Amino acid sequence: MKLKFLILSVIFFTGLGLQAQVKFEAKVSKNKLGVNERLRVDFEMNQDGDNFRPPSFDGFTVVGGPNQAVSNRWINGNRTYSKTYSYYLQPNSRGNKTIAQAEITVDGKVYKTTPIDIQVTAAVDKPMDGDNSELIASDNLHLVAEVSDATPYLNEGITVIYKLYVSPRISVSNFREVDSPKFKDFWSQNIEIRELRPENGEYQGEPYRYVVLKKAVLYPQKTGKLELEPLTLSVSVDVPSDRRDIFGSRIYKTINKTVAAGTRTIDVKALPGNKPAGFTGAVGKFSLNVSTNKDQLKASESLEAKVEIRGNGNLNLFELPALEVPSSLEMYSPERIENVTTTLNGKQGSIIDNYTIVPTRKGQYPIKPLNFSYFDPQTETYKSLSSQEIIIDVEEGPALAGGNTIAGNNKQALNLPSEQFRFIKTATNLKPLEQQAFFRSWTFWGSLVLPFAAIPLVVLFGKRREAKAADVTGSKRKKADKLARKYLSEAKKNLGDQQSFYEALERAMHNYLKAKLHIQTSEMSKERILEILNEKNVASETSAEFIAVLKSCEFARYTPASNTAQHEDYDKAVRVISKLDKDL
């Protein structure tokens, strides 16, 4: 029995060792070619390695590549991985040449390919270039990610623009998005592109036509090196072939080419350490304005006080300074008003906290100045703003003791005048009531019968109350549905206007999370939302539906949506918020 167990163990661990074995080899399209032909070389590995170093290709000119292809498949539970770097080579002269060793590092160990001997002969009459169409497509089609700033500060806005460059030597008939970048660790906002417009430009000094496919504004939420995942497209390319029609014109061949923009690394710098007091993470250029709609009023009347931050920067990603008023002014929670637009220059507009204030006593009340600090990435310095003190003059109402001015939040005793209670009468003019027999009167019989008549009503009311209390699920559902429709009321008003509807819908979903989970907008990436909901033990299906609604809002920025689709997304949002409220 022990021997059998030992044999099975050896076979098992030997299989694991074979499965984990790294395979790195070089392949060529042909070992013999004419000096006027081209050669394709593939360096293929079965595990993802680092620090790939190609050979020097002595005796050849690299006319194409490197092109990278990755294959990751699962078949019957077994994973098959393949990564290939491809080069197209043109021989410089006749003779025997060698493709030297390439190197790759896997888990700290260096692996090398075996050298390959190539024989180059005199020019041939009919050159046969292996995968010539693929070479032409690779050399004349490029997907590029242009980043405005690769070394921004934390929370400083940058833009990324994805452009597809097409050479005049080929044409593109169609393309589709295979994989979209996720922008992890960034607050991102896609900029809508209503129409794809080809433009003339240059790529590596040569004339090209290009089209802008995707634009986004990013605000990094972490410091250090952050990666932007590539945008990947499948493109149908029309390339010229070696065949010609009866009129001598070259026949074009359509091939499907997968192109990627490549991974870009953003090195995010930390903000300087000398942060002023009250700094809440604002980065950009801003102005502060504190105002009221009136400064003279009567007690019990109301006034509006407005705290406004206006400018260009990471609006929505920091807290506004809170207004402070004396205790004799009753102040309600502010209403947030956001007038923000996103362009290639970042987020621009204003954020307003609108306070409703009601004075309760006569007097003069100061509203203290507010201080607001932000970091200006252009000057690389912190800047502080202050508002002016505002005096509120309450002309009529109960007076305060010791004068009519309050210089802070200290409560003071009231000095009430002697005439305060003059409306209370001290002289009476009472008359005796006429004597009337209560026993056997209508009042007597009504008081006697009424309690017995009310017994059925009390029993019925009690049963209905018990049934309602027992229906916990129904009560929660009604409460959750009411809450959902409260948050989604603005979106419902804009049904039919696609842009306004989806902006309001996305804002409602975010506001619900902020109110329910007390999280800031800076944590509003979809990955972060999933993490928080999982931490709160929300059902995975509910979390997935919530993310699906957010994705619908994103897709609607650059794809048309019918009225039916808008109603479906609205109903889905109501259902998701209701489920979330019950789970939370």
Give the residue, 368 or 76, on which the prediction is more confident.
368
Amino acid at 433: L
For residues 206-227, give the mean pLDDT: 92
Contact between 424 and 387 under an 8 Å Cβ cutoff? The reply is no
pLDDT for 380 equals: 93
- The sign one gets for the Cα dihedral 376, 191, 267, 533 is positive
pLDDT tens string 416-472: 444 444 555 666 676 665 555 666 677 777 777 788 777 887 777 777 777 665 555
**Would you state the structure tokens that stand for residue 94, as one six-digit string?**
């006749």
Between 438 and 566, the more confident residue is 566
Regarding pTM above 0.85, the answer is no
Which CATH class name applies to 284-394?
mainly beta
Average pLDDT over residues 521-530: 66
HSE-CB of 14 using CA atoms within 13 angstroms: 6
The pLDDT of residue 238 is above 80: yes
Per-residue pLDDT of 104-126, as tens digits, reads 988 888 898 999 999 988 777 66
Contact criterion met (CB below 8 Å) for 570 and 488:
yes
* Fold observed for domain 20-130: Immunoglobulin-like (2.60.40)
pLDDT in tens, 328-361: 888 888 999 999 998 888 899 999 999 999 988 8
Bridge-based pairing of strands 116-121 and 32-34 is: parallel
Going from N- to C-terminal start, the domains of the chain cover 20-130, 136-268, 284-394, 473-583
Highest average pLDDT, of 227-241, 403-417, 551-565, comes from: 227-241
Average pLDDT of span 520-526: 57
Distance between CA atoms of residues 563 and 569, nearest Å: 10
* 123 phi and psi angles, rounded to 5 deg: -60, 145
pLDDT band at 241 (very low <50, low <70, confident <90, very high): low
**Which of 361 and 385 is assigned the larger pLDDT?**
385
pLDDT tens, 156-190? Answer: 999 999 999 998 888 888 888 888 888 888 999 88
* pLDDT value, residue 147: 94
Q: Which residue has the higher pLDDT, 396 or 327?
A: 327
Residue 79's identity, in one-letter code, is R
Is 284-394 in the same CATH topology as 20-130? yes
- Min mean pLDDT across 59-63, 476-480, 505-509 is at 476-480
pLDDT tens for each residue of 14-65:
444 444 588 889 998 888 888 777 888 989 888 887 788 899 888 888 877 7
Closest CA to 299 of 328, 334, 279: 328
Residues of 381-405 as b/e, b for ≥16 C-beta within 10 angstroms? Answer: ebeeeebeebebebeebbbbeeeee
Query: What is the predicted pLDDT for the residue at 224?
Result: 93
Asked if pLDDT for residue 196 goes beyond 60, the answer is yes
Q: In the predicted model, what is the mean pLDDT of the chain?
A: 80
459: left (phi > 0), else alpha (psi -120 to 50), else beta? alpha
In the structure encoding, which two tokens stand for residue 301, read together?
């009347």
